[in-house]
Chains A and B, each alone.
Chain A
């Protein structure tokens, strides 16, 4: 059974850094396309970043230069390093697995981890 468990969220001051983790089980992270998607309180879904199985990475404009997606194959874990955090980065961050062989959509989602950027 596929499971995605996010962690690392919390309260952080503006300008600070945070690293989110997504521990995966039931499949191999490095063989799949994996994304981070966020949802601000009471708002809609916003794609943040993707890492392809080949290692290519892409970012939404909102996170370019500040966010970095990576994975640790030995731990079967996906990460999102977030630097220079702003109030508008406050959101629930979901880890999502794309359907195997299809990069276009998000097949399975974790439960999310809340990031609150506030002084």
Chain B
């Protein structure tokens, strides 16, 4: 049973565009929703996180939109740059254990 479903698997966007990555979860007990960025050969790095009592959170060029009733959340990257090319994972957590989505490979064209 996949508890966190992420789409798309891969995404190609022109520089300056706004890639959007979507996730859906099943367990309403989850209370913490982080997004991680991972470059090849590196460990995941926390990008931004949100709790279910907040509908939107923005940090720099990264924005999370959260829809609690639909059990969905998404990541928007404003003014995307080639350096943003990486794999992005949405995740959900309750009590410390993190459940990750399968990831989205993002490629920003120069």
Q: Do A and B bind each other?
A: no
Please report A residues at the B interface, Cβ cutoff 8 Å. Answer: none
Please report B residues at the A interface, Cβ cutoff 8 Å. Answer: none
